[in-house]
Structure 1
Amino acid sequence: MQPRIRFISQRFGISQNPHAWEAPDQSGWLKSALFGSVDVLSRRYCSHESKPIHTNMSRDEARKSLYLQARASSPFANPGIFMQFGKTRANIWTWDREAGAADLDLSSRNTVPESALHAPADGLVLRQSLDGYEGQAWRDGELMQSQWWPAEVRADQWSLFCLSVEKLGLNPVQDPVLLPTDYDRTSIPANDLPARSLLESVRISHWAVVAAAFILLPAIYLGLRYYNLSSQEARKQTELAALWQEKSTQRSAVAAINSALSKTQEISELFNDSHPLPILSRAIARVLDLGARVERVDYDYGDFRVMFTISENFDQSSLVRALESDPEITGVTLEPTGQNAFWNLRFREITMPAGAAS
């Protein structure tokens, strides 16, 4: 699909179809939204130069050099510039962006001079323009010189044009055939401006911006949602792994306590005396079973104090009941320490002969 084409001239104003025999383009707004638009500017408003391309320069260097020359030599203070490079020459059109009648728009940056749409010719030709007439001198498929007249060309005007192109080695044509206005709409030439200037000349359609927003915004939203869900899932996996590690550590601690309890029980029975470790191990096991974390243990002549941190679902009454049911434990108290989630468990040992406890 080609972009929407508008013609800007004094004769037709701004029109998609400057010629009466062309059918109106009803899809102009849709083309402009999807593929952009191109303004074809009448030769009337353009100043033309044809300059040789220096062979000792790269194409980028030549673009920059000719662009600066065009700005300096243009008769307009704020020129629009269109550059078209051929094999050996570059054609440069400039126009005044701030000129034009009230119903004309010459400030468009996506503008192509109508001469750039003409098919190559051979020698000297006279073409009918959107406004007036244009004389062109062609050699080897490249436009060498152009001149515009607002009305039908007189013989003396054409003779002067022929004299001006003799230095190009072209044979004069005394009676030129008037060529009709013909444009190659299937291939819109690109503006060979330097890279920076070309970026500055790009104009994005408002409709294209809206369409891009409708496409990009849902994609961005879904991408962020996916990222958030993935992050939450990763955090949950990390928390589960940490919880499993903590439970494994607690189970290992209980196993170690039970092993120590067994050894201590054997020693106590051997000496016919009680030892505080079995009582302490049972109390700590009760604390760990309820999901708490033991932080500190103190023992002083039959008095025990266990400091631990609790989880959100910690059942305090279950711990107290479990310890009060132990025949070797008495005076069970459970109270917060004043620090967040820290609790103190206190109880005393009931002195009794070794082996009497169940």
Structure 2
Amino acid sequence: MLSRLFPAPRPSLIGRTGVERPNPGRGPQFGVVSRGLARYQRFPLIAERSDARRLGALDLQITRWSPFADAGRHIHLWPDHAGVWIWDRTALAQGLVAFRDLRDAPIVPETAVQPPGQDGLRLVAGIEGVEGQYWQDGELLASRWWPAAPDTTAWLAFQRGAGLAPEAMRPDLPPTFALPLLDRPWTQARAAGPAESGVQRVARFAAIAGLGVLLVVAWLAGGLLSRQADVAAVEAHIADLEQRAGPLLAAREQTFANDDVLALLAALDPPPPLALLAELMTRLPDQGAVLSSWRLQNGEVEVLIQASQMPDAAAYVGALEGAEAFERVVAERGDLDNQIRLRMTVVPTWRPS
């Protein structure tokens, strides 16, 4: 009886090759976007008591990081950091043209509806491909997706990028787990206290609609049941959109209305590219190698190092991890046997001394 009144949400799995629809039912629908279609990044939160100011600063960081003109977002707030998933909302909408009931449904990344991990590394089978995850103290510190299980080189590169010490790295691949999907995300949209995600709001509104159905049946007639459910669904969708847009609009308004917050956000402007290049060159170890290429985009640096023989990747990673300007340094083999490719993230608050 309760399952009929309060049906569980029904996920549609959205991947690169198509959409897997749920079994027929009455529960509210939501979309689960493949990790292969999403990007993940962990951002520090500014030290502000006001949630609006913290979210406003986070919004600027996400906008600068995102390569998409119109990015869908899903955010989880830990005490001092935010885990952010983004995807190309325009491309996703084009892929859902044939699914009218999904066009305005809540969308969440699949990581958010898989049981969170314990401390350490794990490989998770997804809608498609596999996701490498590194958890520590309940936080997802690093995530990377591969279309198939990674080889040892890629697995070690992921661990270096996650910041693991050499003695803590695992050269052997762990078993790949296929995890069940949760009825609603484990993520929270606020730093303190429980918060509803888009799917949780759908479930709550579905429950309210179910109670409303009981009242309608008691007072009127069973013939009005479906009509009332339709009205409740529309109201739920409108309230969902208002609730999702409200905090962001309030955060932007409060952020840009305060001079002291503007001073804080000024520190989030990207450092000068030439200063970053100079800092990089001074940090590279002297091994007779040359810098073949350099690229800076959306706060990510990629360089190609070439020498007469294979450069010592560990020495380069260690030297750059000691620099205040860079973090999450990863080294991998280049296209040639005497090349290594270094990738790193720019610390947004760094400035040349």
TM-score range, shorter chain: 0.3 to 0.5
Normalising to structure 2: TM-score of the pair? 0.47
Normalising to structure 1: TM-score of the pair? 0.47
Structure index of larger Rg:
1
Return the structure number with greater relative CO, CA threshold 8 A, min gap 6. Answer: 2
